[in-house]
Structure 1
Amino acid sequence: MTDDKPHHLGHRQRLRERFMNGGASSMPDYELLEMILFQALPRGDTKPLAKQLIAAFGSLADVLSAPPERLAEVKGVGDGIIATLKLFREAGLRMTRAEALNKPVLSSWSAVLDYCQAAMAYEKREQFRILFLDRKNTLIADEVQQTGTVDHTPVYPREVAKRALALDATAVILVHNHPSGDPNPSRADIEMTKQVVAAAGALGIVVHDHLVIGRGTHASFKSLGLL
């Protein structure tokens, strides 16, 4: 008598048990993605699709950060799956952002870096983000000011200073990403930073740092002696 049961029966339960019993850190990206896909696909084997997505985009973080239109190009990915992936990404971003909120930024620097990495490292285009701080160096606003191309974002120093005044901010941290993954500042980055520092300084606003975010790494203008 042959066993006609689908091979994946019990697989979901075994994955859940491994995850709940402390094995999450050792699970490869595709297995975590399988579990995320459980939410959108209540039946069937999610492993092939999980592996297909990892192969297409590179990592779990890349999958969660991929544009919806790119995700839709993968066979088997519909609106429900895209919504689920974006839900998990947004939840992760809010969690990392909460770690940086309502605390003096300069004393919770690792939380700020974690948030910037989660928010920007896997973006396919450059973004220019500003963290606005009050007199106690507590984060009061976090805004993406501009989105550009794969290697350039237009930045308007006067607009940065104007927005800081409107928010009653006394200091800012500039942040932008390099989609190439290499966080080394370019000459254009250095020149732009000088212009922002001059515009902000004229209004009594301090630029604490300019962070360039790469994949799993970053560069700090302050640490590099550029600020």
Structure 2
Amino acid sequence: MNHAHGHRDRLRERFMRAGPEGVQDYELLELVLFRAIPQRDVKPLAKELIATFGGFAETLAAPVERLVEIKGVSENVARELKIVQAAAIKLTQARVMKRPVISSWNDLLAYCRAAMADERTEMFRILFLDKKNILIADEIQQRGTVDHTPV
């Protein structure tokens, strides 16, 4: 029996049963790649992307120009990765917005990392809090260079 036969179904079932903790980063990336590349074994590509960019989140945050340099990554594949990244950013924003920020430092850091992960230049952002220290807005005030932002 071919081990690859049924791999996608087994991986999907394991993910649904165990959640994100039940799969490796490259396997989670495989699940994303299944949608963009329906007829090919994507495990080697998933592993190459993780090795190239350093992890699942880093792969999603990589600029499209860098992604398409990898053999097997088309514009369509890059678009799927960017859709997942956008969903992750929206989810993180929803978790942080309208919630106490000061008492949830880790959530604030996670939000900032997600919101700025693919930025190649420094930025000066203002996070607006209400009187209960709840985040109500996040605005980019200035964009700078790779290593400096005028304030």
Q: TM-score, normalised by structure 1?
A: 0.60
Query: Which amino acid counterpart does residue 115 of structure 1 have in structure 2?
Result: Y
2:37 to 37, 41, 44: 41
Inter-partner Cα distance in structure 2 for 1:123 and 1:25? 27
Paired position in structure 1 for 2:108: 112
The 1:76/1:151 distance shift into structure 2, 3 A limit, reads same
Shift of 1:23: 5.1
Paired position in structure 1 for 2:57: 61
Sequence identity of aligned pairs in percent?
Answer: 58
The 1:9/1:120 distance shift into structure 2, 3 A limit, reads same
Q: Does 2:3 match 1:18?
A: no
Structure ranking higher in helix proportion: 2
The 1:26/1:148 distance shift into structure 2, 3 A limit, reads farther
Work out the number of aligned pairs and report it: 151
Q: State the structure with more CA Rg.
A: 1
Paired position in structure 2 for 1:134: 130
- List 4+ stretches of structure 1 deviating above 6 A: none
Paired position in structure 2 for 1:70: 66
Question: Which runs of 5 or more structure 2 residues have no equivalent in the other structure?
Answer: none
Residue-by-residue CA offset, 1:17-76 (whole Å, 9 max, x unaligned): 111111531422111111110111122111111112112211111110001111111111
The 1:104/1:51 distance shift into structure 2, 3 A limit, reads closer
Give the CA RMSD over aligned residues.
2.0
Q: How does 1:194-209 map to 2 (within 5 A)?
A: none
Q: Tell me the secondary structure at the aligned position of residue 106 of structure 1.
A: coil
Paired position in structure 2 for 1:87: 83
Q: How does 1:144-223 map to 2 (within 5 A)?
A: 144-155=140-151
Inter-partner Cα distance in structure 2 for 1:18 and 1:105? 34
Contact 1:18 1:24 in 2 (8 A): no
Contact 2:97 2:134 in 1 (8 A): yes
Question: Which runs of 5 or more structure 1 residues have no equivalent in the other structure?
Answer: 156-227
Moved more, 130-139 or 68-77: 130-139
Residue-by-residue CA offset, 1:66-119 (whole Å, 9 max, x unaligned): 011111111111111111101111111111111111233334433222211222
Query: Which amino acid counterpart does residue 21 of structure 2 have in structure 1?
Result: S
Structure ranking higher in strand proportion: 1
Shift of 1:146: 2.6
Inter-partner Cα distance in structure 1 for 2:67 and 2:16? 29
